[in-house]
């Protein structure tokens, strides 16, 4: 007996495929939403034991980081999401610098600034297209730049 293919079997397969895709999308986005944490200290990590540079050193680091960002932001073919990410990091640097100048400890300044930028981003037309979860990738480099580097004693004492 020969099996005939009808348009009904194609539409049934297509509908089943769409249903499976919709269910998987729902599960993925639900897991992502529940997996996000509002505790920014957990996301960044513990910074309390780090020896930070003096405020003048912090100002120098912020100036260096802003110079790097100016080069990146000056690229003519920069995508909107990349521009938003760089602008968000630039804003984070400004907030950190301002908080440190107002006597906030550096670790708290980083946490508060990070939280503030993420809170402002959705309503800000310049930051709204920033990809989720990527701003935190700038934090380790910033922490390293703001950390006092221990110089070994070359005299042998």
Domain boundaries, given as residue ranges, for the chain: 1-35, 40-146
**CA neighbor of 65 nearest in space, from 150, 144, 151:** 144
* Separation of alpha carbons 95 and 110, rounded Å: 8
Q: Kindly state the tokens that stand for 31.
A: 């897991």
- Is 104:112 a contact under the CB 8 Å cutoff? yes
Full-model pTM = 0.70
Residues 11-32, mean pLDDT to the nearest whole number:
55
pLDDT in tens, 83-110: 999 999 999 999 999 999 999 999 999 9
Residue where the block lists tokens 């297509």: 14
pLDDT surpassing 60 at residue 154: yes
């Amino acid at each position: 007996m020969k099996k005939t293919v009808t348009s009904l079997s194609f539409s049934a397969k297509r509908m089943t495929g769409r249903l499976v895709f919709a269910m998987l999308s729902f599960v993925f986005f639900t897991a992502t939403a529940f997996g996000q944490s509002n505790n920014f200290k957990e996301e960044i990590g513990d910074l309390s034991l780090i020896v930070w540079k003096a405020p003048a050193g912090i100002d120098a680091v912020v100036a260096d980081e802003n110079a790097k960002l100016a080069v990146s932001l000056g690229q003519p073919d920069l995508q909107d999401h990349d521009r938003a990410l760089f602008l968000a990091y630039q804003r984070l640097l400004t907030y950190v610098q301002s908080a440190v100048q107002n006597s906030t400890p550096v670790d708290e300044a980083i946490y508060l600034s990070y939280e503030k930028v993420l809170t402002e981003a959705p309503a800000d037309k310049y930051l709204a297209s920033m990809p989720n979860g990527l701003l935190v990738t700038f934090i380790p480099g910033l922490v390293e730049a703001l950390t006092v580097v221990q110089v070994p004693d070359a005299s042998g004492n």
